[in-house]
Chains A and B, each alone.
Chain A
């Protein structure tokens, strides 16, 4: 079975540019998570979707960040305008929402904002 697929794997862009990260969850999973990982803060939940609906976006740092899930097989995380402090590894994860179902992580997008 294909796992969670993220693209791009690496992104280097200049400050002020728009960045779009993409995620395809595991087929059949109805929960989707976007995380950001840095050395200082570890793995932080940015937003959680259940059945394509954003349930908890309290971790989204500011209005420059937005996320969408137009259908069960695709989600995007957008940063506009990007800033150097947004540099991090961004992970997408998916799971079933019922019961104790662990998350499965994608390979991540390593984002560098110059």
Chain B
């Protein structure tokens, strides 16, 4: 079992729809969870992070965390073509150990 599992996609959604990106992790010691966006040929950039169970909203983005189920998700409301990218889930254990998933490729269709 991989430490971090993400559906590789591509996940295709029409413009204006909600995109739902999911991630499961195996390390119960993970304490904080980061979502990065990576455009093709570019470096990862932080979207948001969450460390408490429940939802955390930031603009069009909502992160959801369920530690009991070892599940974290990212919702993107009103998806735009500019949101088309690969989204990396990265649980963190301790102070520095980030384990990155291989990412879900999102395509927002105009």
A binding-site residues for B, Cβ under 8 Å: 31, 33, 35, 41-45, 48, 50, 55-56, 91, 97, 100, 102-108
Q: What is the minimal beta-carbon distance from B20 to any residue of chain A, in angstroms?
A: 21
Return the chain B residue nearest A6 by Cβ. Answer: B43
> Could you tell me the dominant secondary structure of chain B's interface residues?
loop
Are B96 and A91 closer than 8 Å at their CB atoms?
A: no
B102: chain A residues at CB < 8 Å are 41-42
Number of B residues with CB within 8 Å of any CB on chain A: 18
Partner of A45, one of B34, B46, B97: B97
Are A56 and B96 closer than 8 Å at their CB atoms?
A: yes
Partner of A100, one of B32, B43, B97, B100: B32
Are A91 and B100 closer than 8 Å at their CB atoms?
A: no
Are A105 and B34 closer than 8 Å at their CB atoms?
A: no
Are A42 and B96 closer than 8 Å at their CB atoms?
A: no
CB pairs A–B below 8 angstroms (19 shown) = A33-B98, A35-B100, A42-B88, A42-B101, A42-B102, A43-B44, A43-B88, A48-B96, A48-B97, A50-B96, A55-B96, A91-B43, A97-B95, A102-B34, A102-B46, A102-B49, A104-B46, A105-B43, A107-B42
